[in-house]
Amino acid sequence: MSETRFTDQHEWISVENGVGTVGITKYAAEQLGDVVYVELPDAGRKLAAGGEAAVVESVKAASEVYSPAAGEVTEANAALSAEPAKVNADPEGEGWFFRVKLSDPAALAKLMTKDQYTDFIEGL
């Protein structure tokens, strides 16, 4: 069973068997507008929790995507290079950015649950 957690920078991470799939939330995708370019991390890259991992560019702005957890990138979503609009169409599904093998799965407890994130964005 996977568990999904959220950051205050509007990233999500869904973890299964010690590997987290990371993307931006629907709220973030809506704020960005039409995504036109995504720069993804290479497999093997080590990421720190809260460290810059990727870049997403829209017609409005360019934004960094931060890793919700520390670990090593195992895969990037190559489909986004050819079709960055997937981020807008399905930000919490097919529009995922990268997968990371977690170095400290217990650290996920510091991130927000779905209900906590919902409350967080309602207050923005």
* 101, burial (CB in 10 Å: exposed 0-12, middle 13-18, buried 19+): middle
Q: For residue range 5-48, what is the model confidence (pLDDT) as tens digits? A: 999 999 999 999 999 999 999 999 999 999 999 999 999 999 99
Q: Any idea what DSSP says for residue 61?
A: -
Q: Looking at residue 1, what is its pLDDT?
A: 61
19-24 vs 98-102, strand pairing mode = antiparallel
Domain ranges of the chain: 3-103
Q: What's the whole-number mean pLDDT along residues 62-79?
A: 97
Q: What's the whole-number mean pLDDT along residues 83-104?
A: 97
Separation between Cα atoms, residue 94 and residue 116, nearest integer Å: 23
Of the candidates 115, 42, 92, which has an alpha carbon nearest to the alpha carbon of residue 72?
42
* pTM (two decimals): 0.96
- Quote the Cα angle for 56-58-63, to 5°: 40
Separation between Cα atoms, residue 1 and residue 10, nearest integer Å: 22
pLDDT at 93 over 70: yes
- Quote the Cα angle for 67-70-72, to 5°: 95
Answer whether 108's CB lies under 8 Å from 71's CB: no
3-103 to CATH, choices 1.10.3720.10, 1.10.1060.10, 2.40.50.100, 3.40.50.720: 2.40.50.100
